Amino acid sequence: MPSARDAAVLSIVFGTIVGLALGLTGGGGSIFAVPLLIYGLGVAPRQAIGLSLVAVALTAASGAVQAARRGVIEWRAGLIFAVAGMIMAPAGVWLGEHVSETATLIAFAVLMIGVATRMLVRAARAPQDARVVRARVSEQADDDTATVCRYAADGRLRLNAPCSAALAVAGLLVGVGSGFFGVGGGFLIVPALVWITEMGIHRAVATSLFVIVLIGLSGVVSTLAAGRVFDPVIAAGFIAGGLFGMTLGRYGAEHLAGQQLQRVFAIAMVVIAVFMLVKPLITT
């Protein structure tokens, strides 16, 4: 456990890393928050998950504001997705209260490996998606894959019953995972939006930031209601670092985002996940 002074400095550094990763990858970077809080700052797992939700929601809000200014958020679809997620995020927090911390960490490590695998596959199969956070304009999906939600001639997404239902179901699933693991869920939201709707990857990434903010805030309220308290110094430093890192990431993505960066983040996730799985065996 670091001293109070070291913890304050490290919280800013680690928050910056998380914000930078989120800004550079456009989704998936926030998954570093929980292990950094637990193993770098000595925060208890349940408190780390709650603090991660706070930091990720506020950091995503910074990115969502920038995306809104560029006009690339699909507000109506995002709202349906987010409301469903907000309803289920408290269920994820409640579930976390009834699962042992060891089991939670093991599940989190498995999740990290899954996210890393997806990042590696996407970097290889769709290198243009790895550079998506460089985009300054939105694009509609350019393939002919049949989707549930389609755009009308006026350019607006047709939110009929099947479309709304599909978005709501995806939101419910992401909400549970977000509340349980303390992650934004961008690595799930982006592919879900692309698969369900005709929106291009650029608009999906922007919309996911809006969704993450609302789902994250729901999880935060539930976390506080569950009595999870945070060290104010660590919380303030981590959030401030996250906002700073997100800004750096968004600007740096214009020059750095791409296949190699995705691979670096994926490998880092695997290394951390393996450490999380092996550490209990070493310490027992």
Residue found by looking up tokens 């929106």 in the block: 199
Instruction: Specify the pLDDT at position 143.
Output: 47
Mean pLDDT for the stretch of residues 105-131: 77
Give the length of the chain: 284
Confidence of residue 27 (pLDDT cuts 50, 70, 90): low
Mean pLDDT for the stretch of residues 114-142: 61
Chain mean pLDDT for the chain: 82
Name residue 42's amino acid: G
Confidence of residue 24 (pLDDT cuts 50, 70, 90): confident
Confidence of residue 60 (pLDDT cuts 50, 70, 90): confident
Instruction: Specify the pLDDT at position 144.
Output: 46
Q: Are 21 and 115 in contact (CB under 8 A)?
A: no
Residue found by looking up tokens 């693991």 in the block: 181
Nearest to residue 119, comparing CAs of 257, 279, 220, 243? 257
Share of the chain above pLDDT 70, in %: 86
DSSP one-letter code for 185? -
The partner residues of 151 in beta bridges, in order of sequence, read 157
Instruction: Specify the pLDDT at position 259.
Output: 66
Q: Write down the number of H helices and E strands in the chain.
A: 12, 0
Residue 141 has pLDDT above 70, yes or no: no
CA distance 30 to 34: 8
Residue found by looking up tokens 């292990």 in the block: 35
CA distance 12 to 233: 10
**Burial category of 19 from C-beta neighbours within 10 Å (exposed 0-12, middle 13-18, buried 19 and up):** buried
Instruction: Specify the pLDDT at position 237.
Output: 92
- The better pLDDT of the pair 277, 191 is held by 277
Instruction: Specify the pLDDT at position 184.
Output: 74
Residue 131 has pLDDT above 60, yes or no: no
pLDDT tens for 222-264 read 888 888 777 888 989 999 998 898 888 777 666 665 567 777 7
Which of 4-8, 107-111, 155-159 is modeled with the greatest confidence? 107-111
Q: Which helix (H) or strand (E) holds 191?
A: helix 186-196
CA distance 249 to 25: 8
